[in-house]
Amino acid sequence: MAAEEHAPCTKPRPDKAKKRKKPKKDKWGQPLSAAAAEEDPSVEPEQEPPAVGAEESAAAAAAAAGAEESEAAAAAEGYEPGKVVASGMPYTTTEVDIRKLFEFYGPLRSVQLSRFPDSGNFRGLAFVCFESDEDAAKSIELDGFKIGNRYMRVERCRVTASSNKKRKAEFQTDPEKSVGCLSAYVGNLSWNVTEKDLRAFFKSSKIASMRFAIDKRTGGSRGFCHVDFEDDESLEKAVAMNQSELQGRPVKVAYSVSNRG
């Protein structure tokens, strides 16, 4: 029996298949015939969808312009754009703790912890840099926030020649003793330290006078002072007490730097 010959099965190729035209619809969304669509003026031709991301791009451009204006305003006021300084934190505070606290206000660019030059331990002060100056301004709400048994202070980081000089003298290396110096810088003090407390702290030295740094905005202590001694021996005894503990904090004691230049 001869085998039956079968015609090869042919299917239309997808690339050669005719594309179907989308039916036109009336204003109520009902399909219309081609003839009806041409006659009915109420039929709206289908419009191309708007370009994807156009609105997002415009919003991003506006946000970038706003960020530039904010940074320019900060610089004009003498602040480092996007940067705040946080002080008064417990020495046990870690960089992770600080990041978690400030990331609530926006993404961070960096966190720089200030440390004692001799021990390398955290000294309760950190510089926090945000990616946005607007976020940095919002983080000032943390001023007065309680961490452990201490109240943190947060303020904008200023850029001035005098503050840079003071920061270099205070946080990097101890200044050398100048000729005729009888004064000492005493820093890293607890907010509630009084003159009586310091006189007891330097009981082996003869103190002539004492000047606390006062915050003009709050009227409270800024955490450091300058002490004038009656003689050189008293000054040397005081400087030798550098890093001694007062009310649970190691006190920074160094020769005062004269502002006269």
Q: What is the pLDDT of residue 57?
A: 54
Residue bearing tokens 């610089």: 75
Express each pLDDT in 97-136 by its tens digit: 999 999 999 999 889 888 887 778 898 999 999 988 899 9
- Taking residue 57's Cβ as centre, other Cβ atoms within 10 Å add up to 11
- Examine the pLDDT at 164 and tell me if it is beyond 60: no
Express each pLDDT in 22-81 by its tens digit: 666 655 555 655 544 444 444 444 455 545 455 555 555 545 544 455 455 544 456 788
Domain boundaries defined on the chain: 71-166, 174-255
Q: 71-166 with 174-255: one CATH topology?
A: yes
Q: What is the pLDDT of residue 221?
A: 82
Q: What is the pLDDT of residue 161?
A: 47
Q: What is the pLDDT of residue 100?
A: 94
- Examine the pLDDT at 260 and tell me if it is beyond 50: no
Q: 251, 188 in Cβ contact below 8 A?
A: yes
Express each pLDDT in 177-186 by its tens digit: 888 899 999 9
Residue bearing tokens 């003839």: 35
Q: What is the pLDDT of residue 158?
A: 79
Q: State which amino acid sits at residue 107.
A: P
CATH class of 71-166: alpha beta
Q: What is the pLDDT of residue 256?
A: 87
Q: Which of 236, 157, 150, 162 is nearest to 189 (CA)?
A: 150
Strands laid side by side in the 207-214 sheet: 207-214, 221-229, 183-187, 252-255
Question: 174-255 — its CATH code?
Answer: 3.30.70.330
Q: What is the pLDDT of residue 258?
A: 64
State the Cα–Cα distance between residues 207 and 205, nearest whole angstrom.
6
Express each pLDDT in 209-245 by its tens digit: 999 988 777 777 888 999 999 999 999 999 999 988 8
State the Cα–Cα distance between residues 166 and 229, nearest whole angstrom.
22
